[in-house]
Amino acid sequence: MVVDDKIYGGKEMSEPIYAQFKKWPYPVNYGKENEISADVLIIGGGIAGCHAALNATKKGAKVAVVEKATVLRSGAGGDGVDHWHLACTNPASRITPEEMVGVLKSTFSDYGYGEFGNGITAYISCQESYPALLDIEKMGIKVRDVDDLFVGASFRDEKTKLLFAYDYDNRFCIRVQAANVKPALQKELKRLGVGIYDRIIVTSLLTEGGKPGNRVVGAMGVNMHTGEFYIFRAKATIVSTSKPNGLWVFSTELKGSAALQEPNLSAESFAMLWNAGVELTMMEASGTRMQTGGFSHFMYSTGNSHNTWFACTLVDANGKEIPWVDRNGKILKTVEERYHCAPGQRAFVYDGPRFIPDLPERIARGEFKLPLYADLPSMPEHERRAIWGLMVGNEGKTRIPIYLTFQKWGFDPDKDMLQATVQPPDLYTWGAWWKGYGPRQYRGLMGGGPVFDWDLKTNLEGLYAAGSTLACGANHSGSATTGRYAGRKAARYASTAREPVIDRKQVDKEKARVYAPVSRKDGMGWKELKAGLTRIMQDYCGEYKNEEVLQMGLRWLSSIGESEIASAGARNPHELGRTLEAMAQATVSEVIIQACLARKASSKTLDFKRLDYPQMDPPEWNKFITIRQENGKVKTGELPLNFWILPPNAPTYEENYRKHCEL
């Protein structure tokens, strides 16, 4: 069928409908091999991958970065960052790395420190966050108030011109103007001669002899524009892809791929770790995504006072202000008090000043009338300009989508109050970003990832991890710091490692697997596959679990694997990439269910409810469950909480860091 008319819906060339009748715009060469050799291969060119590449290069390694999207703007940090956490070694800081790790430990749980990772990653961040910030400053990113826009503000250090967020007593979180950090990093990578390979979905690790559990010697992938095959041969490999998203939730109809987290964060990286025999942990932990799924609004685009919007005044429909309290429940009378510790509090990240804890009840009683509004006009000038101009102007997905778009439509923070979403009273709790809500079966992986040591090395020789790939994860500065650390470690290993040898049989087997869908143009498409797989997780690995239900989930996955997945179809290289993601999603879903079967106890901390083991957090189960594949069988194990400061590691953070940091 040929459509000559370029007009559809009154808009020339703007509809997908017209385009589907056109030839694929890139030259297609399915199966054509490209072979690249490097000392260090970095899989995933986001924030962690870029900092890893820079630091491995500085150590003398020849580096290749392979990226599914485009290093120019890829990853969760691809569109910028506005606050740089755990910069404890900046000259104005009033907290040491040791003290900061103590604060995180008491704020979070022994299983992990939320966006700050675990003991190893958090401590690395505390030591290297400020040096990493100086790295991007050298690339031209403004990390201090060089234009003197905030002179006299209580969050400004007059000597260094650094601007701080959250805890003004301790000054470890720095407000930065880094909307364009990614183009700056890409430019620096190019300047240093790093090989950049964009638009390639990496589907498999190469191991010595092609056997799982052996040393990793590179990876393989497919170009999502051309369909060509890529073989990367490397002495050392760093995985910095982040975690799989969209395992319980899939819909592009609600708000495009924005229904998920960064849309390229799919399952293939964890599937390839699993298939290579990498030991994973925390895979059983999933949590509700009610406020981040497809039904919610975009982050930062609604009135709230969390994260980038901390600590904006909120008022009700009649202009009545919502009171703030400190951690101890004392009412705070001024805006300035919201940025300081409570008496007896060493420092805070998320457990600092907050709204009155009974706000939901007071809304339900009618004391505060919905809708609520973020009252920027009432904020002191410096704070208003910091929230709307600096932070909403530079955080990921805020400068163009929010700051410039809202202002184009006339929003003026000096005059206008941004509405908070209207939702049930019980959801107006502190910590939620008040962006609307979705169904409770919308869950996401919480903290799962490869087990790693003080070298950021996995259980496989030659394989390192960085950024939010790591078990427990990392935020922007955590990705930068673990990236630079893993870059040094991998380069060091590569400097003495033997030549990597690729097993041709492994290559041929992977090629047969990855190109199978293009021969089946009428097979099930990637969207229905992904949506169907999320239903398995919602039904059989949801909020409540038991042995029978989890086993049923495995049965479904196995059945879909030999039927719908085995006959999946793809009509161009883009669809092929997405189909390979769906295939990997089935693998990772199975790993998650296996991990859930292995934890035979409920846990409040892990949001893990086993109907057949209802007792919450029995002491003997306060440990990490590990899981890996060995000789085709699932092998589970365990690690003690705080293993990072238990034997064979040294008993203090500093000793471990000094011994391993390669500085």
Partner 1 sequence: MEDAVYMMPNPATPNQCVVIDPELCKGCNSCIEACRTDVLVPNLEKGEPPIVLYPEECWFCGCCVGNCPVPGAIRMDFPLNQRVGWKRKATGEYFRIGMKNPPPPNERPPIG
Report residue 514 as tokens: 């990855």
Applying CB under 8 A, among 22, 159, 333, 633 the residue interacting with partner 1 is 22
CB 65 within 8 A of CB 197: yes
Q: Which is nearer to partner 1, 321 or 655 (CB)?
A: 321
Report residue 237 as tokens: 């490999």
Q: Considering the complex, what minimum distance in angstroms separates the CB of residue 400 from partner 1?
A: 3
Q: Considering the complex, what minimum distance in angstroms separates the CB of residue 188 from partner 1?
A: 18
Applying CB under 8 A, among 50, 57, 79, 112 the residue interacting with partner 1 is 79
Query: In sequence order, which residues have a C-beta less than 8 Å from that of residue 336 and are 6 or more positions away?
Result: 154, 380
Q: Does position 406 bind partner 1 by CB under 8 A?
A: yes
Count the neighbouring beta carbons within 10 Å of the beta carbon of residue 284.
27
Q: Does position 399 bind partner 1 by CB under 8 A?
A: yes
Q: Which is nearer to partner 1, 282 or 402 (CB)?
A: 402
Helix (H) or strand (E) holding 544: strand 544-545
Q: Which is nearer to partner 1, 1 or 544 (CB)?
A: 1
Q: Does position 83 bind partner 1 by CB under 8 A?
A: no
Looking at residues 359 to 398 of the shown chain, list those that interact with partner 1 (rule: CB under 8 A). Answer: 373, 375, 377-378, 385, 389-390, 392-394, 396-397
Q: Considering the complex, what minimum distance in angstroms separates the CB of residue 622 from partner 1?
A: 38
Q: Which is nearer to partner 1, 183 or 209 (CB)?
A: 183
Q: Which is nearer to partner 1, 194 or 417 (CB)?
A: 417
Looking at residues 308 to 347 of the shown chain, list those that interact with partner 1 (rule: CB under 8 A). Answer: 319
Q: Which residue has the tokens 């899989």?
A: 43
By rule CB under 8 A, what count of residues binds partner 1?
A: 85
Query: Looking at 270-278, 294-302, 351-359, 563-571, which segment touches partner 1 (CB under 8 A)?
Result: 294-302
Q: Does position 36 bind partner 1 by CB under 8 A?
A: no
CB 584 within 8 A of CB 266: yes
> How far apart, in whole angstroms, are the C-alpha atoms of residue 87 and residue 124?
11
Applying CB under 8 A, among 29, 34, 109, 257 the residue interacting with partner 1 is 257
Looking at residues 573 to 592 of the shown chain, list those that interact with partner 1 (rule: CB under 8 A). Answer: 574
Report residue 104 as tokens: 């995180």
> How far apart, in whole angstroms, are the C-alpha atoms of residue 52 and residue 373?
42
Q: Does position 5 bind partner 1 by CB under 8 A?
A: yes
Report residue 60 as tokens: 């003398």
Q: Does position 418 bind partner 1 by CB under 8 A?
A: yes
Helix (H) or strand (E) holding 595: helix 573-598
Query: Looking at 67-75, 342-350, 487-495, 627-635, which segment touches partner 1 (CB under 8 A)?
Result: 67-75
Applying CB under 8 A, among 43, 52, 69, 606 the residue interacting with partner 1 is 69
> How far apart, in whole angstroms, are the C-alpha atoms of residue 156 and residue 465?
35
Instruction: List residues bridging with 36 in a β-sheet.
Output: 232
Q: Which amino acid is at 117?
A: G
Q: Considering the complex, what minimum distance in angstroms separates the CB of residue 625 from partner 1?
A: 33
Q: What is the DSSP string of 204-270?
A: EEEEGGG-TTS-EEEEEEEETTT--EEEEEEEEEEE-------SS---STTBTBTTSSSTT--THHH
Applying CB under 8 A, among 27, 31, 60, 256 the residue interacting with partner 1 is 256
Looking at residues 264 to 293 of the shown chain, list those that interact with partner 1 (rule: CB under 8 A). Answer: 264
> How far apart, in whole angstroms, are the C-alpha atoms of residue 345 and residue 611?
38
Looking at residues 208 to 227 of the shown chain, list those that interact with partner 1 (rule: CB under 8 A). Answer: 224-225
Q: Does position 19 bind partner 1 by CB under 8 A?
A: yes
Q: Considering the complex, what minimum distance in angstroms separates the CB of residue 264 from partner 1?
A: 6
Query: In sequence order, which residues have a C-beta less than 8 Å from that of residue 585 and are 6 or more positions away?
Result: 244, 246, 247, 266, 267, 271, 529, 530, 533
Strands 280-281 and 286-288: unpaired
Residue 288 to residues 426, 442, 445, 543, Cα–Cα distance (Å):
15, 6, 9, 8
Q: Which is nearer to partner 1, 75 or 195 (CB)?
A: 75
Helix (H) or strand (E) holding 361: helix 359-364
Q: Considering the complex, what minimum distance in angstroms separates the CB of residue 48 from partner 1?
A: 16
Report residue 69: phi and psi, to 5°. Answer: -100, -115
Q: Considering the complex, what minimum distance in angstroms separates the CB of residue 273 from partner 1?
A: 22
> How far apart, in whole angstroms, are the C-alpha atoms of residue 232 and residue 241?
16
> How far apart, in whole angstroms, are the C-alpha atoms of residue 402 and residue 399?
6
Q: Does position 119 bind partner 1 by CB under 8 A?
A: no
Report residue 108 as tokens: 């979070």
Looking at residues 150 to 189 of the shown chain, list those that interact with partner 1 (rule: CB under 8 A). Answer: 176-180
Helix (H) or strand (E) holding 331: strand 331-332
Applying CB under 8 A, among 412, 426, 630, 654 the residue interacting with partner 1 is 412
Q: Does position 416 bind partner 1 by CB under 8 A?
A: yes
Applying CB under 8 A, among 380, 401, 425, 561 the residue interacting with partner 1 is 401
Applying CB under 8 A, among 58, 62, 105, 255 the residue interacting with partner 1 is 255
Q: Which is nearer to partner 1, 43 or 595 (CB)?
A: 43
Q: Considering the complex, what minimum distance in angstroms separates the CB of residue 230 from partner 1?
A: 18
Q: Does position 430 bind partner 1 by CB under 8 A?
A: no
> How far apart, in whole angstroms, are the C-alpha atoms of residue 265 and residue 248?
13
> How far apart, in whole angstroms, are the C-alpha atoms of residue 136 and residue 95?
23
Radius of gyration, alpha carbons of the chain: 25
Q: Does position 403 bind partner 1 by CB under 8 A?
A: yes
